[in-house]
Amino acid sequence: MHSDIQEVLYSEEQIQDKIKEMGELISADYEGRTPLVICVLKGAFMFMADLIKRVEVPLEIDFMAVSSYGASTKSSGIVKIIKDLDVPVEGRHIIIVEDIIDSGLTLSYLIDVLERRNALSISVAALFNKPARRTVELEPDYSGFILPDEFVVGYGLDYAEKYRNLPYIGILKPEVYTR
């Protein structure tokens, strides 16, 4: 375990087992369709890579980068598109892949953007979910783990751009924030 980590919440194996289940659900739901799977950068890149390996329908992928947090651990409430999609979403079945839903602000903004671009359908797959912190009403269609109201890192999620490479999800030691 990394020396800055206080507690591992879910191990690499637990995460992979959950993603396999999520992939099976998506495969069943999207049978006969070719969804456009959108990864919300950067946090969801690892989840995206592992999830699509478990989805057994033909699919396309694209990436979108939005900013909401900066180097802080709380949402600013302001969502900005840093990198937009390369392909049009009009008439497509969209699956948005997110690392974690916290306030829900980022996702509700993204869903709004994609609806205005005339996506045919939009669903959300989120590996982690902190329902206690929601400020807008929003539930993922495919949900991995419910987390307590704690800031987590690992498995793609960062603190000040670090710890994304950890294969598990965990909580940082408090002294890391005051360094």
Question: Which of the residues 17, 62, 86, 102 is marked catalytic?
Answer: 102
Q: Which is nearer to Mg ion, 71 or 179 (CB)?
A: 71
Q: Which is nearer to Mg ion, 28 or 82 (CB)?
A: 82
Peptide bond into 53 cis (omega under 30): no
Three-class DSSP category at 24: helix
Give me the least distance between CB of 158 and ligand 5GP, in Å please: 5
One character per residue 75-94, x = contact with ligand 5GP (rule: CB under 6 A): x-------------------
Token couple for 6: 């206080």
Task: Tell me if 9 sits within 8 A of 153, measured CB to CB.
Answer: no
Size of the site for ligand 5GP (CB under 6 A): 19
| 45-52 helix and 12-29 helix, angle to the nearest 10 degrees | 60
Q: Which of 67, 64, 86 is nearest to 77 (CA)?
A: 67
101-130 residues in contact with ligand 5GP (CB under 6 A) are 101-106
- Binding residues (CB under 6 A) for ligand 5GP: these are 43, 68-69, 75, 98-106, 151-153, 157-159
Catalytic residues: 102
